Amino acid sequence: MDIFSHGLYGGVLTGRKSRKSFWTAFIFGISPDLFSFGIFTLSILLGFVSGPDWGSHAPDPSLIPNYVGILYDITHSLIVFSVAFLAVWLIRGKPMMEMLAWGFHVALDIFTHSFAFFPTPFLWPISNYKFDGHSWGTSEIFIPNVIALCSLYAWWWYKKSSFPNEKRNPKM
Ligand SMILES: [Zn+2]
């Protein structure tokens, strides 16, 4: 899925407690792409390297530098995510629910990336198995994605305003 949708899903699914919680979840939601393609995109924008033609189609994966693939393996692995989630749980003595946005990002990518461009290495480093999903760039995925996001945010908005007499968290 595109990075912006990942952030929005993270925020609405795991960050509804407060503004801080929302943005923490948003950052966790975008972080797998931020720390792989984001670094590459930044180096293109800063003029350090020239980038592939993104055009209307995904570019040839061979034009993407190796380190992006390595970072993609690490950030898009449910194994790495689980270890990090449990480690934070152990250190804090309670789970950090906003981190689940990271896991949800990977879960969503499994089904919305095809073999044509960066299928999700969700079992790395234990297994190389990848699922041949349906690209999020196609209208069959992108339009339902927008509808799902609008519905989730409408539901959240409705839930917050459906009981006006109840005392609400002023930060929300
Ligand atoms: Zn991703």
Domain ranges (residues) in the chain: 3-161
Q: Which residues surround ligand 1, an ion (CB under 5 A)?
A: 32-33, 109
The reported pLDDT for the residue numbered 56 is 59
The reported pLDDT for the residue numbered 164 is 62
Please, where are the H alpha helices in the chain? 3-14, 19-33, 39-45, 66-75, 78-92, 100-112, 139-161
Ligand 1 centroid – CA 17 distance (Å) = 25
Q: How confident is the model at residue 131 (pLDDT cuts 50, 70, 90)?
A: very high
- Give the Cα separation of 27 and 56 in Å (integer): 27
The reported pLDDT for the residue numbered 163 is 66
Give how far Cα 90 sits from Cα of 86, 87, 99, Å.
Answer: 6, 5, 14
Ligand 1 centroid – CA 8 distance (Å) = 13
The reported pLDDT for the residue numbered 111 is 97
Ligand 1 centroid – CA 159 distance (Å) = 29
Ligand 1 centroid – CA 163 distance (Å) = 37
pTM value?
0.88
